[in-house]
Structure 1
């Protein structure tokens, strides 16, 4: 099969998948972003961050929320990488150098997930789970929230109200991305993917010799990655909801 034919078939398969998912997934996502009901765990989060989810934001307030959350995310992830050497579960890895830490932090917060290093040889369990995996969820949720705010801007051009960024962020994470990633992680574990917090193991190879393998939360991390990264996957999810919201 030539590359052109493979590309055409992939495009047709993607179009068919979107056509099949448009109604069920789009309807569900539209309900998520337009519902007036807040789950109990969502109320706890809003209370913890001091946000009122029922307050409608115009574009300046929505933009400030996006930028503030992203800046805090970059600083937190950068700090986490820089202090890795003193964190538990670091697997003996030292702190990530400043340039690499900043590049990785900005990359994951902006949902581009650029990695110029071997993750299993650079990051310990805490940085992988509390840092990178968290950003796999929330950075995608930010992108989805902005897409939903965009369509609200067209639909509510007379009022200028775009919804509430904190509400969109929390709902996109807890009601869409986390459940989808959990299902994917279970499937990966069932297929033999690693899911533990063990250290480095030396295992025998089929052709002789040994190789060192790291333990880690691989299934849950990949479940999050495959649902939320990079921007292409996120941009394919959001229009499903947008079409239903404007129907």
Structure 2
């Protein structure tokens, strides 16, 4: 029984890397997620339906396709990847930063959808009242919309974090499965499935993933209910 509860060094590294990748993915994509969500919630413009569809595209595409697209764009021979390496000596491919990028792309639709619904729940009459008193659009956003929508913003980030924590297909396609560098919990579980006697490690990592994801989902639901003024039960 003790051996089942004992995490190996590689498993602990995979857990820490997963938390790092998921946190960076959620936090780095949050500003863009807020901007896109506000645009979809508060503005009418030509191509809005197309933008909405593109934002949600990663939800319906096979993750491997997303990973391959990132490899083509951000890989060593990709247009953006070559430019980043030549200009900033920075690369995403086969590094933990690439895993964070892939995870951010896959979690972005959930983030935008949650934040958009949160912004739409803000009473527009409050924004209009502030505007009539002379507040500009940015001031209205930062003093009215953002404070009232903050539970949804945090909930969106938490959902993106949970999605990033379990991402596998896009990540392994883009950055492979390199122990200590790009091997997250999901890819570590996949690796253990190929090793005889790896069941104990699989169960340990799966239990950690389930516990963290469940906590994130419960926190997200609590925040959404709080914004709606409902009692959580």
Q: Which structure features the higher share of helix residues?
A: 2
TM range (shorter): 0.3 to 0.5
Q: Which structure features the higher share of strand residues?
A: 1
Normalised to the residue count of structure 1, the TM-score between the two structures is: 0.32
RCO higher in 1 or 2 (8 Å CA, sep ≥ 6)? 2
